[in-house]
């Protein structure tokens, strides 16, 4: 095989690497800090140290309501404080999931099972504090408070855990917003933190991950590059840098080879 041809093949391969980035959705992760808030829909100071995650992945529709969500834990409960930005509030639909509402999905053994197991729950509450449930969720393990605000509404919730929680435990976790935008009783948009499949109510394999940590976060809003923020796909970025390097070296070599040939 000629030198020229081999160089050409290497360049082609490198180019191919460059234009086929990893396409799967990144698995989002966050840490819940340790503490015990009062469930009253008021943002007590204790929430200031919590990590903030945002619902930014569409399940359906566009221009959806969205939320900033904080999490906390103690031995008995997982706590969630969500500020939902929704310009027009509606509970017109007869279906709970089509009303302006939030849903927490929790997989307590993080088994990522394709169907709900005994530990998996779908905890839904609308902005008027009406609850509804899927899986292990029930009025017995879900305590909520809501209030409407100038930006939409707030939900504060406690989910009672099946067994005593401890530091380092990882739960499968997701947070969804249902939005009826024009008060016609039909859900127009659904947005979620991690799993955009629309299957979270029956399949836990797409949930994000939440780790129970002891220390409070140092910043209220994590900087880009820290957990809790949407990250660029760093593995893809690394991949591209490597591929770009390979292309440059190959092309450089090719040019040198040509020049040498010409001067020879
Ligand atoms: C989903 C709906 C589903 C419902 C069942 C919701 O999370 O978005 O599509 O029908 O759960 O409870
Ligand atoms: Ca499970
Ligand atoms: Ca709405």
Kindly report, residue by residue over 124-178, the tens digit of the pLDDT: 999 999 999 999 999 999 999 999 999 999 999 999 999 999 999 999 999 999 9
Percentage of residues of the chain with pLDDT beyond 90: 72
C-alpha dihedral sign at 123, 128, 129, 133:
negative
Within 10 angstroms of residue 118's Cβ, the number of other Cβ atoms is 10
Q: How far is CA 32 from the centre of its chain?
A: 14
Q: What is the pLDDT of residue 25?
A: 79
Residue 97 CA to ligand 1 center (angstroms) comes to 6
Residue 191 CA to ligand 3 center (angstroms) comes to 12
Atom of ligand 1 at shortest range from CA of 59: 8
C-alpha dihedral sign at 7, 9, 11, 17:
negative
Ligand 1 atom 9: the closest Cα is on which residue?
198
Q: Tokens at residue 101, please?
A: 């509402």
CA angle centred on 133, ends 49 and 108, rounded to 5° = 55
Residue 121 CA to ligand 2 center (angstroms) comes to 9
CA distances from 191 to 84, 149, 195, 220 (A): 11, 20, 9, 23
Atom of ligand 1 at shortest range from CA of 178: 8
Residue 252 CA to ligand 3 center (angstroms) comes to 57
Strand 170-179 and strand 208-212: the pairing is antiparallel
In contact, 193 and 28? CB cutoff 8 Å: yes
Is the per-residue pLDDT at 13 higher than 70? Answer: no
Residue 90 CA to ligand 3 center (angstroms) comes to 6
Q: Tokens at residue 76, please?
A: 């008995």
| 3-class DSSP state of 225 | coil
- Higher pLDDT residue, 231 or 46? 46
Q: What is the pLDDT of residue 205?
A: 98
- Tens digits of residue pLDDT in 230-259: 344 434 444 444 555 555 555 555 555 566
Q: How far apart are CA 38 and CA 88, in angstroms?
A: 28
CB under 6 Å to ligand 1: residues? 97, 103, 134, 176, 190, 201
Atom of ligand 1 at shortest range from CA of 96: 12
In contact, 123 and 137? CB cutoff 8 Å: yes
């Amino acid at each position: 095989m000629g030198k020229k041809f081999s160089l050409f093949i290497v360049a082609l391969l490198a180019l191919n690497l460059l234009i086929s980035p990893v396409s799967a959705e990144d698995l989002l992760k966050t840490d819940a800090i340790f503490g015990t808030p009062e469930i009253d829909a008021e943002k007590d100071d204790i929430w200031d140290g919590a990590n903030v995650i945002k619902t930014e992945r569409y399940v359906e529709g566009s221009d959806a309501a969205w939320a900033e969500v904080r999490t906390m834990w103690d031995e008995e409960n997982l706590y969630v404080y969500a500020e939902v930005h929704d310009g027009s509030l509606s509970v017109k639909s007869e279906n709970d999931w089509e009303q302006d509402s939030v849903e927490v999905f929790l997989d307590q053994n993080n088994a990522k099972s394709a169907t709900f197991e005994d530990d998996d729950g779908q905890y839904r509450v609308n902005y008027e504090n009406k609850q509804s449930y899927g899986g292990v969720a029930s009025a017995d393990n879900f305590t909520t408070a809501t209030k409407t605000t100038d930006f939409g509404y707030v939900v504060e919730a406690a989910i009672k855990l099946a067994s005593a929680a401890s530091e380092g435990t990882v739960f499968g976790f997701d947070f969804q917003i249902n939005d009826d935008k024009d008060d016609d009783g039909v859900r127009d948009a659904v947005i979620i933190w991690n799993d955009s499949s629309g299957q979270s109510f029956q399949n836990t394999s797409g949930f994000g991950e939440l780790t129970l940590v002891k220390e409070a976060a140092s910043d209220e809003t994590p900087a880009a590059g820290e957990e809790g923020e949407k990250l660029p796909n760093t593995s893809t970025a690394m991949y591209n840098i490597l591929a770009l390097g390979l292309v440059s070296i190959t092309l450089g070599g090719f040019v040198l080879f040509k020049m040498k040939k010409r001067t020879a």
